[in-house]
A = this chain, B = another copy of it.
Amino acid sequence: MDIRLGDNQYGKAETRLVRVTRHPDGHEITDLNVSTTLAGDLAAAHLVGDNSGVLPTDTQKNTVYAFARDGTGEIEDFALRLARHFVDTTPTIRRARVRIEQYSWERFGHHSFVHNSGTRTATVTYDGAAATVVSGVDDLVVMNTTGSEFHGFHRDRYTTLPETDDRILATAVRAQWRHEHAENEDWQDSHRGATGQLLEAFADTHSLSLQQTLYAMGERVLRHRDELVEVRLSLPNKHHFLVDLSPFELDNPGEVFFAADRPYGLIEGTVVRDGAPDPGLAWW
């Protein structure tokens, strides 16, 4: 046969789980968006509609809810538990990836909560032997109102951008960092530490380009967090253009800006610790 099945995977995306823990002195909530993806010996399903090796995506959803009954723990642990379950108990499944987004809430009062911005993420992959854990943040929106320059860039005949030694630098950080080990980590401490380093590096770096800021953020995380071996960052450059007020006989000394939607720059990069273990399935 001259046509064949290549790589494939399937799963249940965006199972929305809210877990309440009812302590006498105050409730806790865990608000998650869980996506599970499985791969393995699924050729029969694709080629002849034989579903005997297919664990339904509905079952994957059920498993998320059933496992939550005992508590989720940190999202890295919950993802590990789910990934191992799917691979270890389903005969056809060779690999599982579980990605979890955790939304942020702040408690006020005994059982009342207000939603905050900032999403914590975890992506676990497991192949029956080894697991890898990637933690991260999504949509962490930050801005520096000065301390950012951009000049000395390559110019060609289509370049009209003026050089600047003072601009706004704003981005929505999507960052993921790979753990060296998948076991016995203090995931919460690690997450707080890495996120704090990202923010501090963003604030501290006098930036000559968003690329430089990106590298500084990734490097800072690795310098301070020994448990991590690789950081991947995706940083949209959310352009803020100084408005020309001269038609109104006004100057504009870096005060009035237009926040543009599209297009936007998109800077993506990786910072790695030398000797980091092979990522294996981590970024699958």
Contact = CB atoms under 8 A, between A and B. Distances in A.
A160 B62 contact: yes
B10 A259 contact: no
A83 interface: no
A71 B119 CA distance: 33
Interface string A244-275: 01011010101111111111111111111111
A92 B153 CA distance: 12
A129 interface: no
Given A15-B263, A89-B156, A159-B59, A271 B49 contact: no
Given A3-B271, A59-B159, A117-B117, A65 B243 contact: yes
A116 interface: yes
A275 B144 CA distance: 48
A31 interface: yes
Contacts of A135: none
A147 interface: yes
Contacts of A263: 12-16, 57, 61
Contact of A8 (B22, B147, B268): B268
A11 interface: yes
A182 interface: no
Contact of A42 (B51, B59, B211): B211
Interface stretch (A73-81, A105-113, A120-128, A186-194): A105-113
B58 A161 contact: yes
A215 B154 contact: no
Given A112-B144, A255-B21, A272-B4, A13 B236 contact: yes
Contacts of A69: 245, 248, 250, 252, 255-256
B10 A111 contact: no
A29 interface: yes
Nearest to A243: B65
Given A13-B266, A65-B245, 13 more contacts: A2-B275, A5-B215, A7-B270, A12-B263, A12-B266, A14-B264, A15-B262, A19-B257, A22-B254, A31-B259, A66-B250, A113-B144, A114-B199
21 contacts: A4-B271, A4-B274, A5-B271, A6-B230, A7-B269, A8-B269, A16-B260, A18-B259, A19-B255, A20-B168, A46-B215, A49-B208, A50-B208, A51-B154, A52-B154, A62-B159, A65-B245, A90-B154, A111-B146, A113-B143, A116-B117
